[in-house]
Structure 1
Amino acid sequence: MRTFLLAAVVMLAACAGTPRRSEGSPARVVVLAAAVASKPAPRGLIGNVFGGGDEPRDVVAREAAEALRSRGYSVLGVETTLGPGASVEQASAVARQYQADATVVLVLTRLDLSSIQPLGQAEVELQSMVVGPDGRVLSSDERRATTSERLYRARTDWRSHVRQAVIQAVRELP
């Protein structure tokens, strides 16, 4: 009985921590990610080993799709684009192509890792936009987040900071 109660409390706490998508908001979306910020050089042993070929736009796309799914969105596709991001026309064309309710555009505009080693912090700037297939902008925001991680890997791997900033941005979407 105690095990069941403990499991129920853990599941309720997990569900309470993740905001669900709002009623009436687009349910079927496509993620379109870009990054103006360049890929940082690997730092330390962990950064060298796990640095891989991840580009910032790939990390933004992957983490945005996962965060949207956890909020109850149905992610029909994930695309990345080179350059400063997609225009409203491009985003609406992608939504039409996938027959989605909207395209969620996330652009990593700045990644400052100057405080990552001493403090475990990074400054991440993201622009977000939700565009319907008809070209209507349903949501638009620019956010600056100071992320902090205590794990050793986070002090050497920029991806965990981008992940945290993307999750925060997705939580604020309708």
Structure 2
Amino acid sequence: MRACLLATVLLLTACAGTPQRPEGALSRVAVLGASVASRPTSRGLVGDVFGVGGEEPREVVAREAAAALRSRGYVVLGVETVLGPAPTVEQASALARQYQAEATVVLVLTRLEVSSLQPLGRAEVELESLMVGPDGRVLSSGERRAATTENLYRARTDWRSHVRQAVVRAIRELP
């Protein structure tokens, strides 16, 4: 009986789909990822074989931000990255207008320190977040500094899992 009840609850939870945003809350967004931190070099044989570190940090930030926003019930209309310095408010508002979004979520990786990655499974990640409306109004902004720790072996050679962890935390703080 308990197994049947548990299976029913799990099935209903799985079928519930994406969480709904509160009425009146922003739901349609574009994502703009950037990084002023350079890509860490691959470390050793594992990094070379598995291609760890082959992506640019801005790509990881943008992809993980879009996934985290979707999991919170946002509709992500477009995902873009920016080379060079952090994007301006004007660039973010133009992107919102281009995608006909209610806002653009901008995440900028400002620091990625991975010297403790292999021995301790720890990285220091700093992110700046910004939510900008199509009219140029800043709806939310924040800066997050975090020392992330991953205990899995691959996380000791792959900086992306640490960036993912920091991005998810930053997205949770958005309205």
Per the normalisation by structure 1, the TM-score is: 0.89
Structure 2, unaligned runs of 5 or more = none
For 1:107, the equivalent position in structure 2 comes to 108
Would you say the 8 A contact 1:131–1:138 is kept in 2?
A: yes
User: What RMSD over aligned residues (CA atoms) do the two structures have, in Å?
Assistant: 2.3
Percent of pairs with identical residues: 70
The structure that has the greater radius of gyration is 2
Whichever residue aligns with residue 37 of structure 1, its letter is A
Counterpart secondary structure, 1:117 = helix
For 2:132, the equivalent position in structure 1 comes to 131
- Provide Cα deviations, 1:91-140, integer angstroms capped at 9, x if missing partner: 00100010000000000000011211221111100000000001110000
Would you say the 8 A contact 1:84–1:107 is kept in 2?
A: no
Per the normalisation by structure 2, the TM-score is: 0.89
Counterpart secondary structure, 1:124 = strand
Would you say the 8 A contact 2:53–2:158 is kept in 1?
A: no
For 1:35, the equivalent position in structure 2 comes to 35
For 2:142, the equivalent position in structure 1 comes to 141
For 2:156, the equivalent position in structure 1 comes to 155
For 2:40 and 2:123, the matched residues in 1 are separated by 12
Matches within 5 A, 1:1-150: 1=1, 2-5=3-6, 8=9, 21=21, 23-48=23-48, 49-51=50-52, 53-150=54-151
For 2:58 and 2:12, the matched residues in 1 are separated by 32
For 2:47 and 2:21, the matched residues in 1 are separated by 34
Structure 1, unaligned runs of 5 or more = none
> Structure 1 pair 127/22, CA: closer, same or farther in 2 (3 Å)?
farther
Counterpart secondary structure, 2:80 = strand
How many pairs align? 171
TM superposition shift of 1:62? 0.5
Instruction: Judge which range, 93-102 or 40-49, deviates more.
Output: 40-49
Would you say the 8 A contact 1:31–1:78 is kept in 2?
A: yes
